[in-house]
């Protein structure tokens, strides 16, 4: 029964993060549900071991989309 329930339950979405130093060099990877603490962690589209100790490609970074509230009107007159 637990197997059946686990097939249809909502799963946490894990994301990929790369730790980038001040020079832009990738130092570590992390795969977790929440953003790690610290400004040096950036979200990336995937993890590639060839990026370690190399400059992180700009195309690897996931762009942060701004979240707009849908509660109010767009324009007020």
CA angle at 49 for the pair 27 and 53, rounded to the nearest 5°: 35
Cα separation, 25 vs 4, whole angstroms: 44
State mean pLDDT over 61-77: 64
Higher pLDDT: 19 or 71? It is 19
**CA trace torsion 31, 35, 39, 44 (10° rounding):** 50
3-state SS assignment for residue 58? helix
* pLDDT of res. 63: 83
**pLDDT tens for each residue of 47-60:** 999 999 999 999 99
CB count within 10 Å of CB 33 equals: 9
7-66 pLDDT tens trace: 777 667 899 999 999 999 999 999 999 999 999 999 999 999 999 999 999 999 998 655
């Amino acid at each position: 029964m637990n197997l059946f329930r686990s097939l249809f339950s909502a799963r946490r979405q894990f994301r990929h993060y790369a730790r980038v130093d001040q020079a832009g060099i990738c130092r570590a990877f992390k795969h977790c549900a929440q953003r790690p603490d610290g400004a040096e962690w950036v979200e990336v589209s995937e993890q590639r071991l060839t990026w370690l100790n190399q400059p992180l490609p700009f195309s690897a970074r996931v762009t942060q989309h701004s979240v707009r509230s849908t509660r109010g009107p767009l324009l007020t007159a």
